[in-house]
Amino acid sequence: MPARPLSPHLSIYRFAYTMALSIAHRITGVALAAGLLVLAAWLLSAAAGAQSYAATVAVLSGWCFKVLLVGWLLAFLYHFANGIRHLFWDAGIGLEKAQARRSAAVVVVAVALVLAVCLYVLFGASGGAV
């Protein structure tokens, strides 16, 4: 049997930030799936009664879960913005190299700005909701 050629992989391509954004899109999808499990546990505890809900809220109110919530917020904002970018690509818009790089920069800047606004609202000067 003749040797088959290998598929191109990371060692073949020159690393570019558009590649990093593609990898980040996949990672944020996995992170959002993990966050969905935490959301489901929270909702199940609410359905199980006041005592179960209070115990769950006590666990989820810790500083480590607040850090995770900020991470999940970042993952959601990035995955959402990059998903819109992919919808444009599906329509055939922005596929050229320069346009793809420009849209990548727009996604990163937009996510940073929206995250900053969300963090200010959550943890800002007024004490925030959290």
Q: Which two tokens stand for residue 85?
A: 């970018």
Phi, psi dihedral angles at 7 (to 5 degrees)? -70, 150
Give yes or no for a contact between 82 and 21, defined as CB atoms under 8 angstroms apart.
yes
Domain 17-123: which topology?
Answer: 3 helical TM bundles of succinate and fumarate reductases (1.20.1300)
CA–CA distance, 92 with 101 (Å, rounded to integer): 15
Closest residue by Cα to residue 34 from 87, 79, 93, 85: 79
pLDDT, the chain, mean: 90
Residues for the chain: how many in total?
130
Mean predicted confidence (pLDDT) in 73-94 = 97
Mean predicted confidence (pLDDT) in 73-84 = 98
CA–CA distance, 34 with 18 (Å, rounded to integer): 25
Ranking 1-10, 21-30, 34-43, 117-126 by mean pLDDT, the lowest is 1-10
* Residue 16: pLDDT band with limits 50, 70, 90: confident
Dihedral, CA of residue 41, residue 84, residue 106 and residue 128, to nearest 10: -30
Please check the confidence at residue 14 and state whether its pLDDT lies above 90.
Answer: no
With H, G, I as helix, E, B as strand and everything else as coil, classify residue 93: coil
